[in-house]
Amino acid sequence: MTRGNPCQLPGMLPNYDPNDSEAGMKILEDLTENVEQIQQRVLEEIITRNARTDYLKGFLDGQFDKQVFKKTVPVVNYEDIKPYIERIANGDSSNIISAEPIIELLTSSGTSGGQPKMMPSTAEDLHRKTFFYNLLVPVMTKYVDGLDEGKAMYLLFVKPETKTPSGLMARPVLTSYYKSNNFKNRPFNRFNVYTSPDETILCSDSKQSMYCQLLCGLVQRQEVLRVGAVFASAFLRAIKFLEHNWKELCSNTRTGHVSDWITDPGCRKVVSLVLNKPRPELADLIEHECNSKSWEGIIKKLWPRTKYIEVIVTGSMAQYVSTLEYYSGGIPLVSTMYASSECYFGINFKPLSKPWDVSYTLIPNMAYFEFLPVKKKNEDGAQYVQCNGVCKENCMEKETEKEDVETVELVDVKLGQYYELVVTTFTGLYRYRVGDILMVTGFHNKAPQFRFVHRRNVVLSIDTDKTSEEDLLKAVTKAKVIVESLGILLIEYTSYADTSSIPGHYVLFWELTSKGNNHLPVLDPKIMEQCCSTVEESLDSVYRRCRRKDNSIGPLEIRVVQHGTFDALMDFCVSQGSSVNQYKTPRCIKSGEAINILDSRVVARFFSQKAPFWEPV
Ligand code: AMP
């Protein structure tokens, strides 16, 4: 294998020592210089390997040509490939879509028919992910010195998993990775030493896992150089957990004994080793910091050597930036990567940039990337649908018929343009619409860099949940039947993700009226609470898991507003430039001013009193 020319390499995954940052940087330079050749090679390799699969055979008819591929293989959504995935889940051979055996299915936070989408994964794909993770190290060491002189307190968790009827594991991508030998038997790398022993990360009881990881992080506080979690929401959940449990954590530190309720044998064993002995002085110190009235800057106080907080704060996680800044004490927030269950996509080459300036460079040997252009509002006379609430951009998504889709290649994207990402992976996805809208912000060598703009069709998100306008409508429709049976009509509704407290929760604003007399009805709290629960029961499985199992979403709230509130909202939207003729009530609100208009007219508030039902798929 030649290190300098990755496009010559079998399998496209150059081998190098991850401790050697210079070698890592060289690989990144090669990958970003040779984008076109690498993308060609990736597509060739994927087609050559998989042309005989049932799926591709039907389109390619034995031809291995890129032009034929682009002409005949359709750009698809999950619903188009779902029958193949289900066949595999039910025992069909995985070579209907992939020549490499599919060893498990990765449950995505995107859902289909209320259940998580399932993405194919192969053994080789784990190596591709390891290669990708290793590339994050040289980028960070380029900007931050001395990362090999201490540890990372990364709070990482596994989630529940199930087996498909054919016996394949179905689990989230990170659970799959942490449970793999690639993670568990990772070679020592002095830049990636964690305070959390693997046993605490792999503990399936999320409360014990969190407690033990925080305890290990506190005991080793003087060694901690960086802290983090995958998403901002998970890191804030850890801070809240600390707020509720610091006294007990201090007591364990003081005595050198782990609390009795930590019953997971692996956790008990490793945490006892880390705790090792009574540490009364350390306990006093942590107690002093945690006892202070304000928790502003608590991260810096508890882990004083921390150089940055590694959490994704782009996309729907941007809503947590100000809360994180409050706790961080000025420590930079670093979003290192952009990835999904389908494929790992890109790396942030300027990790210290501010959250709103973050761009990701797509790594060209991860997959074959294509882009569906997304027009900006009023850019031409075509029919566009407004992109949904979470996006503050002036971009619109063109309603594309499958047949008239023209994609652009990675090397042909244009600066400042918006695109939807389409991937062809090594694992059996061909021209698959990921659903993410990206904007080109620049280039690193020849590789374009993208800002994550928003996810298509998502209006509400607190943690990894992704609720669309349609999901919300379905859930509200079920709940409103309850009030209708009592002679009350729901005349308008909208929603927003309230993240002012942790965990955040969904808020629905409802304008109600009595049938017949047009008055605000008298509301029975029990009935309204039942409406809240019914909405929750009707939302998809990822929402219900976050709410019930992970406790990462709080009880859903309905705020009943006085008559005329939605007229006031319309007046506001029109004053901001919406056309009166085309005005449609937004089903999700982002603007603080609009939320204030609604909030100032709230007459009653109700919360769901029970967590919705959830079980693994
Ligand atoms: P999942 O399929 O559950 O793994 O979720 C993957 C999705 O999460 C992506 O398609 C994006 O919509 C979102 N996502 C992942 N990484 C980032 C990131 N760095 N910034 C914004 N959104 C992200």
Beta strand pairing status for 360-362 and 368-374?
A: unpaired
Question: What is residue 1's predicted lDDT score, i.e. its pLDDT?
Answer: 31
Q: Kindly report which listed range (151-155, 302-306, 326-330, 390-394) carries the lowest average pLDDT score.
A: 390-394
Average pLDDT over residues 336-360: 97
Q: Is the CB of 450 under 6 A from ligand 1?
A: no
**Closest ligand 1 atom to 360 CA:** 19
Q: Is the CB of 465 under 6 A from ligand 1?
A: no
Q: Is the CB of 315 under 6 A from ligand 1?
A: yes
Question: What is residue 161's predicted lDDT score, i.e. its pLDDT?
Answer: 93
- pLDDT tens digits, one per residue of 305-317: 999 999 999 999 9
Q: Is the CB of 110 under 6 A from ligand 1?
A: yes
CB atoms within 10 A of CB 575: 9
Q: Is the CB of 178 under 6 A from ligand 1?
A: no
Average pLDDT over residues 184-209: 95
CA 455 to ligand 1 center in whole angstroms: 8
- pLDDT tens digits, one per residue of 31-56: 999 999 999 999 999 999 999 999 99
Task: Check pLDDT > 90 for residue 376.
Answer: no
Beta strand pairing status for 488-498 and 505-514?
A: antiparallel
Q: Which of 455, 457, 550 to mutate to test the pocket of ligand 1 (most atoms within 8 A of CB)?
A: 455
| Angle at the Cα of 108 from the Cα atoms of 139 and 40, rounded to 5 degrees | 55
CA 129 to ligand 1 center in whole angstroms: 15
Q: Which of 312, 393, 432 to mutate to test the pocket of ligand 1 (most atoms within 8 A of CB)?
A: 312
C-alpha dihedral sign at 447, 16, 175, 200: negative
CA 466 to ligand 1 center in whole angstroms: 10
Q: Is the CB of 335 under 6 A from ligand 1?
A: yes
Question: What is residue 578's predicted lDDT score, i.e. its pLDDT?
Answer: 80
Mean model confidence pLDDT for the chain = 91
CA 288 to ligand 1 center in whole angstroms: 38
Transcribe 410-435 into DSSP letters: GGG--TT-EEEEEEE-TTS--SEEEE
For residue 557, give both structure tokens.
């709230």
Report CA-CA distances (Å) from 321 to 182, 271, 280, 297, 550. Answer: 32, 31, 35, 14, 21
Task: Check pLDDT > 90 for residue 63.
Answer: no
- Greatest Cα pair distance, the chain, in angstroms, is 80
β partners of residue 121: 104
C-alpha dihedral sign at 406, 407, 413, 418: positive
Residue nearest to atom 17 of ligand 1 (CA): 338
**Closest ligand 1 atom to 348 CA:** 19
- pLDDT tens digits, one per residue of 516-550: 777 788 899 999 999 999 999 999 999 999 999 99
- pLDDT band of residue 405 (cuts 50, 70, 90) is low
Residue nearest to atom 5 of ligand 1 (CA): 340
**Cα of 91 vs its chain's centroid, Å:** 29
Q: Which of 173, 338, 464 to mutate to test the pocket of ligand 1 (most atoms within 8 A of CB)?
A: 338
Q: Which of 340, 349, 363, 459 to mutate to test the pocket of ligand 1 (most atoms within 8 A of CB)?
A: 340
Q: Is the CB of 173 under 6 A from ligand 1?
A: yes
Q: Is the CB of 338 under 6 A from ligand 1?
A: yes
Residue nearest to atom 19 of ligand 1 (CA): 338
Task: Assign 3-state DSSP to the chain and report helix, strand, coil percentages, each to 5.
Answer: 40, 20, 35
Is residue 76 within 8 A of residue 432, CB to CB? The reply is: yes
- pLDDT band of residue 574 (cuts 50, 70, 90) is confident
CA 45 to ligand 1 center in whole angstroms: 26
Question: What is residue 391's predicted lDDT score, i.e. its pLDDT?
Answer: 39
Residue nearest to atom 21 of ligand 1 (CA): 315
Residue nearest to atom 6 of ligand 1 (CA): 340
- pLDDT tens digits, one per residue of 65-114: 888 999 999 999 999 999 999 999 999 999 999 999 999 999 998 888 88
Question: What pTM did the predictor assign?
Answer: 0.91
* DSSP tally for the chain: helices H, then strands E: 20, 22
- pLDDT tens digits, one per residue of 471-529: 999 999 999 999 999 999 999 999 999 999 999 999 999 999 998 777 788 899 999 99
Q: How far apart are CA 495 and CA 539, in angstroms?
A: 14
Q: Is the CB of 108 under 6 A from ligand 1?
A: yes
Question: What is residue 519's predicted lDDT score, i.e. its pLDDT?
Answer: 79
Residue nearest to atom 8 of ligand 1 (CA): 340
Task: Check pLDDT > 90 for residue 596.
Answer: yes
Residue nearest to atom 13 of ligand 1 (CA): 340
- pLDDT above 90 as % of the chain: 84
Question: What is residue 579's predicted lDDT score, i.e. its pLDDT?
Answer: 81
Q: Which of 177, 178, 436 to mutate to test the pocket of ligand 1 (most atoms within 8 A of CB)?
A: 436
- pLDDT band of residue 388 (cuts 50, 70, 90) is very low
Question: What is residue 521's predicted lDDT score, i.e. its pLDDT?
Answer: 85
- pLDDT above 70 as % of the chain: 93
Report CA-CA distances (Å) from 314 to 230, 317, 320, 501. Answer: 12, 5, 9, 19
CA distance from start to end of the chain: 42
CA 87 to ligand 1 center in whole angstroms: 26
Q: Is the CB of 210 under 6 A from ligand 1?
A: no
**Closest ligand 1 atom to 464 CA:** 3
C-alpha dihedral sign at 141, 145, 150, 154: negative
CA 121 to ligand 1 center in whole angstroms: 17
CA 314 to ligand 1 center in whole angstroms: 9
Q: How far apart are CA 18 and CA 597, in angstroms?
A: 53
CA 572 to ligand 1 center in whole angstroms: 32
- pLDDT tens digits, one per residue of 243-267: 999 999 999 999 999 999 999 999 9
| Angle at the Cα of 616 from the Cα atoms of 90 and 336, rounded to 5 degrees | 100
Q: Which of 121, 437, 452 to mutate to test the pocket of ligand 1 (most atoms within 8 A of CB)?
A: 452
Task: Check pLDDT > 80 for residue 389.
Answer: no
Q: Is the CB of 314 under 6 A from ligand 1?
A: yes
Task: Check pLDDT > 80 for residue 382.
Answer: no
Q: 442-445 long-range CB contacts below 8 Å, 24 or more apart?
A: 442/359, 442/415, 443/415, 444/32, 444/349, 444/361, 445/29, 445/32, 445/33, 445/35
Question: What is residue 61's predicted lDDT score, i.e. its pLDDT?
Answer: 84
- pLDDT tens digits, one per residue of 434-455: 999 999 999 999 999 999 999 9
Beta strand pairing status for 447-455 and 162-163?
A: unpaired
Report CA-CA distances (Å) from 346 to 173, 236, 336, 490. Answer: 16, 24, 9, 44
Residue nearest to atom 4 of ligand 1 (CA): 340
Task: Check pLDDT > 80 for residue 394.
Answer: no
Residue nearest to atom 10 of ligand 1 (CA): 340
